[in-house]
Structure formats: structure tokens, C-alpha cells
Amino acid sequence: MRLDQFVATSSGLSRKEAKRAISAGRVRVHGAVFKSANSQVPENAEVTMGDEALTLPGSLYLMMNKPAGVISANNDSSQPTAVDLLPPELARQVHIAGRLDKDTTGLLLLTSDGQWSHQVTSPRRDCPKTYRVTLAEPLDEHACQALEQGVELNGEEKPTLPAQVLLRSATEIELTIREGRYHQVKRMLAAVGNHVMALHRQSVGDIVLDQTLAPGQYRSLTAQEIESVGEPG
């Protein structure tokens, strides 16, 4: 990690302020003054600023209420990303655990812990994901039964795993799936002759989107939410 990033992350300073502190000779690594912001900090190095020892915070675990119109990526030269909605010093540390389509809203998980991220996204974990789905047409009983039994998606030989369907209204359902195939929810509804008008992810496993978060807002996960996925790294 670059020295200016280390100082900014561990002290709460902006990257610009961290560079000023470094160039002013206020930062030491193993007791030696380092004035180059792009110096690499060795693992387990003792870094001080003035009389204060600097240490990196623990792993980060966040939930965001993803708005429509942003992509699930850390950076993109042509489109706004979900990570762009975070403060820069935070955005540099996290990645997305389980992507959402550009037009899909709702629960997005972000973390700096690669092992935890793998637990969220691994097909072996059988992690349920619940979506609120707004449909173009009412879902009839036959289509509902098909979803609950598993449907064949266009271009794939293996049918989907059985889903759980909860009818909220004639054209709104809650759909719980245990896979993560490409555009799966939209393709499942297309397979039963319907069309998804809006898609909102409500939960991943035992982690439920905080209803107090407005679109684009985020918060740290609780210890219980983190541990519900598996042991953090």
C-alpha cells in the first residue's frame, strides 16, 4: 500500500492532507522519516505521525441501497458506479460482493474482506436472495407453480433450482432464489411468459436492506449481519 493511502486510511485525513504531512517530514516508518507519498509500506510496518502510532482499521463491511442507473463496479470510465457514491477514501478499500444490474435497485454488499465476499457469492453456500419484482402482467397459478418447480432458461440445459414465490399483488411478487445466473430473475419471468418492469433486492441470506437508507445511502453491517454469512477474514 502507498504511504499516503496508509496515512489517510489510518488517520482520517484526506489523501491531500496525508501527502502534506508526509512531505513535511511528520511521518516515520520504522523510525525513519519518509517524505515520498508513493513509498510502499511494508507489511506490519510501524508507522507514526508525530507522536501517534498509525494502524489500519479492520475489514470493512457495508450495505448500500443501490439506486437505479448506476452499475455494480469499482470504476468505469463512461458510467457512474455504486462505489462512486462512497467517500473516496472508503471507495478505494472496498469491492462489491454480489452485483446488481444497472436498473436493479436495493441491497448491495461491499467489503474489503475477500474471503467474506467469496462466502456471499459462492454457489456452494446456497445463499438465498429475495427480490421484489414488479411484473408487466398478473402472474397466473400455472406460472407460479413453474417458478416454484424450476424453469428452463433460454440457452441453458439445466433448469433453475426451485424458487419461493410470495404474491404481494396481481403484478408484484417476492421471489427468493438460491442461484446467481446471468439476469436470472428477468429470464425466469420471461420463461413463464411475463416481463419484469422493476426489480429490487430486499435481502441476501439473513442480511435485510435497512429501510431507513434512502437510495444511494449506506451503513456498516452489524456484527450479527457479518457473522450470518460466515467467519470474516
Residues with catalytic roles: 101
What is the separation of C-alpha 173 from the centre of its chain, rounded to a whole number of angstroms? 24
3-state secondary structure 74-129: CCCCCCCECHHHCCHHHHCCCEECCCCCCCCEEEEEEECCHHHHHHHHCHHHCCCE
With cell 485525513, the residue in question is 13
What is the separation of C-alpha 164 from the centre of its chain, rounded to a whole number of angstroms? 23
Pairing relation of β-strands 196-204 and 105-111? parallel
24 exposed, middle or buried (CB, 10 Å; 0-12, 13-18, 19+)? exposed
CB 166 within 8 A of CB 173: yes
